[in-house]
Amino acid sequence: MKKRTMIIVGVIAVVCIGIFVLPSLLGGNKKAGSEKKTVSEDLGIEYFDVPDIEQVYINGVIQPEQAEAFAKDSKMTSTPEIKVKNGDVVEPETELFTYEDKEVTKEIEAQNNTLSKLATKKQNIYNKWNRAIDNFNKAKEEERNTTGAAINEQHQAEIDGVDEEILFSNETIADLTTKQFISTKAKFKGRVSIPEVKDENAPVLRLTSDGLYVAGKVNEKDLMKIAVDQKANLSVVSSGTTVTGKISYIDDNPPEAKADQGENTSGEGTMSTYNVKLALDSLGGIKNGYHMQATINIGDNKPIEVPKKAIHEQDGKKYVLVNDFGSVIRRDVQVGEEKEGSMVINSGLESADRIIVSSKKDVKEGDLIEEDNQGSGEAAPAAKE
């Protein structure tokens, strides 16, 4: 009897342990708190859906309209004398730097040595001439084998010959002097940049124009969809700064020919790319070397009007919150004309963006929210390329 009782008590103990311990082992006692949590409650979010239009994306880099790096010349055997300062904005024909061509300097020195020798030679002729005249005057008339006029003519001819050599050397020196110091001048208006490190490969200085543009590439699939003067919305990849602009140039030829004999002609594989330039309407927050992404809307370029209450501002930048497939993200935008209850968005939005206009509770960047497609009666927008 006692044995039976002990078995029953043991079974009951095992069941109790299972009731309390198993949920913990199966994760039923998880700790709350994570960096991002999905909000499953009804937030009553009101959306504005950006029209789903075809777009072409162009990635590029900011470059100056004109730039020149002045490399060290092979004749530059001396340290250049820089005539400008780092950061100076110079006009065309401004002297940037000069340097001495020491080979030319050697030729000038050689010509100067020649001049010294010619001067000595000329003086010796005069001395010889004077002695000849003295000897002529001292000699008796019957002992003279020549005339004074003949003596003068002979020595004057020698002086004239030396003078010709002197004239030639002086002309040579004058010509060489113009080549002795080589002056380099600016070909366009630009800003001077002088490298801090003076190594062998560093240029003497660089000159870049203040005007900037975006140098990008477009693939052959999108080439025929775009045109010069087409408007573009551009954003800085690193900061999100947005500006407007337009296509200013499209190259008709790819940078490098890829038409090899074994190339795949079925339409698959690598496509050719073509150089594209985009002009910017504003350079605020833009610097040389920044990476940019341009968005070209194909077809209807009707401006997008977003409800004014959907636009927020922080640190002087305007932005909207977008439900990006359940994740709340921020898009910096450039606004244009203000209308009754709405504002025109010039740049910053993407096709089919779901902009959060309002909600019952605050929604912030980084929140994860459940997709609610029933509110709009539409399916979730397709993924953007």
> What's this model's pTM, rounded to 2 decimal places?
0.54
* Cβ–Cβ < 8 Å for 176, 107: yes
CA angle (151 as vertex; 145, 156 as ends), nearest 5: 165
Tell me the two tokens of residue 28. Answer: 């039923």
Fold of 36-52+303-385: 2.40.420
Share of the chain above pLDDT 90, in %: 46
Q: CA quadruple 191, 197, 198, 201: dihedral positive or negative?
A: negative
User: How far, rounded to the nearest angstrom, does the alpha carbon of residue 167 sit from its chain's CA centroid?
Assistant: 54
The strand pairing partners of 295, in sequence order, are 57, 233
Least confident of 197-201, 232-236, 245-249, 371-375: 371-375
**Per-residue pLDDT, 17:** 55
Is CATH 2.40.30.170 correct for 54-65+211-256+270-299? yes
β-pairing verdict for 38-39 and 368-369: parallel
What CA–CA distance (Å, rounded) separates 362 from 15? Answer: 46
Look up residue 15 and give its amino acid. Answer: V
Average pLDDT over residues 42-60: 88
Q: How confident is the model at residue 373 (pLDDT cuts 50, 70, 90)?
A: very low
CA atoms within 13 A on the CB side of 20: 5
What CA–CA distance (Å, rounded) separates 291 from 240? Answer: 10
* Cβ–Cβ < 8 Å for 248, 291: no
260-296 pLDDT, tens digit each? 444 444 444 588 999 999 999 988 889 999 999 999 9
Helix (H) or strand (E) holding 110: helix 102-138
* Cβ–Cβ < 8 Å for 163, 121: no
Average pLDDT over residues 11-18: 56
What CA–CA distance (Å, rounded) separates 248 from 216? Answer: 11
What phi and psi, each to the nearest 5 degrees, are found at residue 162? -65, -40
pLDDT for 201 beyond 60: yes
Tell me the two tokens of residue 337. Answer: 């004309």
- 320-331 burial, b if ≥16 CB within 10 A, otherwise e? bbbbeeeebebb
pLDDT for 26 beyond 80: no
Q: How confident is the model at residue 1 (pLDDT cuts 50, 70, 90)?
A: very low
Q: How confident is the model at residue 20 (pLDDT cuts 50, 70, 90)?
A: low
Q: How confident is the model at residue 41 (pLDDT cuts 50, 70, 90)?
A: low
Q: Which residue has the tokens 């203040």?
A: 210
Q: Which residue has the tokens 């009553």?
A: 44
